[in-house]
Structures are given as structure tokens and as C-alpha cells.
Structure 1
């Protein structure tokens, strides 16, 4: 399900840690964070991602806001990311193999169990930079209304034409193999880290 010319896939995710970011309870997450960002930067099909206000590096794509699921958590901020990809197969290959797969494997140690979708996907024109508020609104929409072309997941994907689509699993494996070569050093690093 590769992107047609003129479209990028947007991914927004959101979760809540079991304790404050600086806490020893989420040290394993903190130790892996830079490697995950570097793995994304090296990943086949990765376009760009938003940075975070007040942090050096990538520009922040608008004010960082959070979906309503943060309410009552006691947190003012929460782990989230916003990125652009060439197609869903590239994002899936990054998400479920290599460095990021290692983080997912251990996420239960650092994150609360969610009653909302962990991520939302949608297509946008290549000249549009998504904003944090777009991700928060679409995640809420996905939770409230289920998947559609406006807000979907890997389980029920939509193509850039707005129609329900299938993921090319063979291509996901091909991209994962490409990523494995470019991220071997990062994977070795994270596999040696404490959980």
C-alpha cells in the first residue's frame, strides 16, 4: 500500500508512564529513547518527525497538546510522537522489528495499560505539516468512532485514496531487512540496556 505521489502517512501515538519521566521506574524507556529516534531517522520510508518545544534539534510542529485521556492522570505531559512516513509498510517495518520492537516488548514495565488506541494513522498531502493537535483529535476520533479513512490503525488500514486497503506483508519483511542492516549497531546497544 505504498503512497501515491503527493501523500504522506502520518503517525501519532500517545501513552502514559507508570511514574514520572525522571523516575527509576521508567529508566529503561529513557535509556532507549535516543536510540529509537535514531532508528527512525535511519528507517526506510521515514520522512520526518516533530521535535518537542524547548528541546534542541527537530522543530516542534505546533503546540504540543494531548488527547483527553491524560485528564486525571496527574501528568501535565505524556510520551507521544508525531511523524511522517512514505507508506504504511515502512512504518510497520520500523514499529514491529529491530530497535522499536525491543521497546514495545518492554513497554508494559514503563507504561500504563491503555483503554484508548495506542496510535492513529492518517494520510496527508506532502505539503502539509501535521500539528500535535491534529494527532490528539484524531486519536480521540478513532477511540470514539472506530477506524475510517480519517483515523485508522494497522489492523484496519486505509489507502491514500480513502478506501480500505491491505498491507503488503512481503514488503514489510523486505523493509525490515533493510532496516536491520542500517540499525544493527543501535539494536546491539538497546539489547544490552536494563529494562
Structure 2
């Protein structure tokens, strides 16, 4: 049975090491969101660094998730003191489960505040794609798919919640069924 991959990427207004209350609030909410999402039906796994050091994304040991990578448009720091990004790479059973986890509860509350923490960009902030059971996606896979989405729009190779595809490559709604013809773009 195929699994759904979700890669998210956002550029923060200030580095993760910034001692301001806004950064601490972002961490606190983020940790609570991860705990909640980890219990959500349909959630399978997410990339976590073996050492778990806050802000140490580059050079961390990500195991089967591969070497950490970022999109070409990320132009901020790459050290613990200067890194200004938030990103996730996770596996799900289906699109509906991922949608419900992202757009309800605590994560929804955090989304409503995203511009308190994140810069507004012309780049997509998430991408989905399907993998075969047993495949662990890598950070580089996520970057490649997000850049493909930016350059080419939604397609079975890389898509969004707004224009999803089923594992067989056909257009799908959030429930996994074909959308109305006026929703297919």
C-alpha cells in the first residue's frame, strides 16, 4: 500500500537561536504540535535528528532520512546560531489524515499565526507525493519535489492539498476521490 509524504519548508523571520519571546513561543508551540500530530490517526513517522539538538539541522544525523538539504531559494544561515528555517518531512497513510492533522486543532492555531514567525515568499511551503510501502523519503527528495512544484505546478510527481493526486496519478480530492471537473486544474 502506498504512503503519502509531506515535506514542509518555511523561512523564519529570525534565527532559531534568537532569544526573543517570539522564537521561544514558536518552539513551545512546535513541540506541542509535534506531540499532537504524532498521535493523529494516519500519521506514520517523521524525520528526526538522532542527536535532537535544537537548531542543528545541517550536519545532524538524520539516519534513513538522508543528509539535510534545503531549497535553492533559502539564503539565510546554516549554523546553529544563524539557521532561520522550519521544515518537516513526514509519512502518512492517506491525504485525508494529513489534511485533518494540519487543518484542525493545535496545528491550525499555529497556522493562523504563521506570519508572526515566517516570511512571506512566492515559493510553496508544502508538497506531497506518494511512495511505495517501506520507502523512506529523504530530505533531498523533499527539496526536489518542492522545487518541481514551484517550477511546474501540481502534478502526480509533486502536489498540494489544493490540487491532489491519488497514488495512481489521477486527480483526487482530499477524501481520495476524483474532484468535480471544475476543480481539476
Q: TM-score, normalised by structure 1?
A: 0.78
Aligned to 2:120: 113
- List alignment gaps of at least 5 residues for structure 2: 54-60, 177-185
- Aligned 8 A contact 2:99 2:174 in 1: no
Instruction: Please point out which of 16, 20, 24 is paired with 2:15.
Output: 20
- List alignment gaps of at least 5 residues for structure 1: 1-5, 170-195
Aligned to 1:38: 35
Aligned to 2:179: none
User: Which aligned segments of 4 or more residues in structure 1 are displaced greater than 2 angstroms?
Assistant: none
Matched residues in 1 for 2:137 and 2:50: separation? Answer: 15
Deviates more, 1:92-101 or 1:25-34: 25-34
1:53 Cα offset (Å): 5.1
Deviations 1:141-165 (A, max 9, x none): 0000111000000000000111111
Matched residues in 2 for 1:53 and 1:20: separation? Answer: 22
Which one scores higher on RCO, CA 8 angstroms, separation ≥ 6?
1
1:22 Cα offset (Å): 2.4
Aligned to 1:124: 131
Aligned to 1:54: 51
Instruction: Please point out which of 90, 95, 99 is paired with 1:88.
Output: 95
Q: TM-score, normalised by structure 2?
A: 0.82
Deviations 1:41-81 (A, max 9, x none): 1101001111025317x95411111011213xx22242100
Q: How many pairs align?
A: 161
1:35 Cα offset (Å): 0.6
Instruction: Please point out which of 148, 156, 174 is paired with 1:149.
Output: 156
